[in-house]
Amino acid sequence: MNVNPPIVGAIELGGTKVLAAIGTGPGDGILARERFATGDDPARTLGAVIEWLRAQASRTGRMQAIGIASFGPLDLDPASPTHGFITTTPKHGWARTDVLAPFRRAFPALPIALDTDVNGAAIGEGRWGAAQGLDDFVYVTVGTGIGGGAIVRGKPVHGLVHPEMGHIPMPRAEGDAFPGACRIHGRCWEGLCAGPAIAARAGCPAEELDADDPAWDAVTASMGHALATITLMLSPRRIIIGGSVRKAGRLGEDRFFERCRVSLERSLAGYVYSPVLSGDGLRSFVVPPRLGDDAGVCGAMAMALASAG
């Protein structure tokens, strides 16, 4: 075992908060962490994060790389003139923000890895969490928004831009008049299952809903459709669902997952055969993150470790 693992910096840049950490891995490997409000002034927020990271780097004396897992959409094409930019976000003040350059200027000697928050979380779960040993899996976050990171043959999928799984179109359940809450598409996955969508449908936040509220039926049915789409498109060996909605208030995380699995099986309707896609097998196919709410920041750490070599 390596007794002197590299120390790296990690930043999870989210829509409401930024988590920064320095360390070698999850749990006790996190030597220090700090939380910042994302706010609407990127220069100020990123400046505060950089200042904190610089202080930690000088305290530990050997920070070797930095990983940034950010909300998007992001330009991840190294050949693009806007590589490292958040591009079209509705998040006030952050559209067309270069998130990479301020870190490059502040830490010119260090490798700096940038990827989407969900790709970061996927990489972290692959290295230390619920997808260890798997080369093909998907990490989905269902919270204020919905996003998914796909790992295929051990690498995160970027493609032309990067996947935006949260905005896949969804079928309308018979008799369901809810118009959806996505500003762009109405009834996409995010428009039906993200926290604000559940609150819009039910008239109160998800955590206050009763366990038998019919909104949970609608949400878990839609979750099943979306998980089926992912399963059919990417053939992952596992799907990890992180984010706050999975905790499901009074329904509880265990029952939320059970309902999502049943709904996934119903949506697949037996078309794809695998023992893990039916009955109890689904308990190892649709799972919560093992790194819990640290999946994102640990993912940024894993990205940094990979870039440190």
Report, in Å, the least distance between residue 146 CB and Zn ion.
Answer: 9
- Taking the least distance from each CB to Zn ion, the nearer of 50 and 168 is 168
The CA distance from 109 to 107, in Å, is 6
For residue 171, CA distances in Å to 110, 132, 176, 249, 301 come to: 47, 33, 10, 26, 37
User: Smallest gap, in angstroms, from Cβ of residue 271 to Zn ion?
Assistant: 26
Closer residue to Zn ion, CB minimum distance, 190 or 213 = 190
Residues lying near Zn ion in the complex (CB under 5 A): 167, 182, 184-185, 188, 190
Nearer to Zn ion, 9 or 243 (CB): 243
Closest CB to Zn ion among residues 140, 300: 140
- At closest approach, how far in Å is the CB of 88 from Zn ion? 13
Nearer to Zn ion, 179 or 281 (CB): 179
> Which long-range CB contacts under 8 A does 153-157 form with residues at least 24 apart?
154/126, 156/115, 156/116, 156/119, 156/122, 156/123, 157/119
Nearest-approach distance from CB 194 to Zn ion, in angstroms = 9
Provide the CA 185 distance to its chain's centre, in angstroms: 20
> At what angle are helices 295-308 and 117-128 packed, to 10 degrees?
80
- Nearest distance, CB of residue 251 and Zn ion, angstroms: 24
The DSSP bridge pattern shows strands 63-70 and 239-242 to be unpaired
